[in-house]
Amino acid sequence: MKKIKLEILGISYSQSQSGAYALIFGEEGQKRRLPIIIGSFEAQAIAIELEKMKPSRPLTHDLFRNFAQTFNIAVTEVIIYKFSEGIFFAKLICFDGIKEVEIDSRTSDAVAIAVRFQCPIYTYESILNAAGIEMQEGSDPVGTTTEPTASKKPTKKGKPDNYSHMTLKELEKKLMEAIDAEAYEKASVIRDEINKRKKK
For residue 60, the domain's CATH number is 3.10.690.10
Q: Please report whether residue 190 resides in a domain.
A: no
What sign does the CA torsion over 20, 88, 75, 115 have? negative
Structural domain boundaries, residue 98: 3-154
Distance CA 151, CA 144 (A): 15
Q: Please report whether residue 23 resides in a domain.
A: yes
Distance CA 98, CA 95 (A): 7
Number of domains in the chain: 1
Distance CA 79, CA 92 (A): 7
Can you tell me the mean pLDDT for 58-77?
A: 96
Q: Please report whether residue 37 resides in a domain.
A: yes
> Residue 75: pLDDT band by 50, 70, 90 thresholds?
very high
What own/partner pairs with CB < 8 Å and gap ≥ 24 does 177-183 have?
A: 179/133, 179/135, 179/136, 179/139, 179/140, 180/136, 180/139, 182/140, 182/141, 182/142, 183/15, 183/155
pLDDT of 161 over the 80 cut: no
Q: What is the pLDDT of residue 147?
A: 34
Q: What is the pLDDT of residue 158?
A: 43
Can you tell me the mean pLDDT for 148-154?
A: 37
CB 14 within 8 A of CB 20: yes
Q: Please report whether residue 199 resides in a domain.
A: no
pLDDT of 152 over the 50 cut: no
Mean of all residue pLDDT scores within the chain: 83
Q: What is the pLDDT of residue 153?
A: 35
Q: Please report whether residue 194 resides in a domain.
A: no
Q: Please report whether residue 174 resides in a domain.
A: no
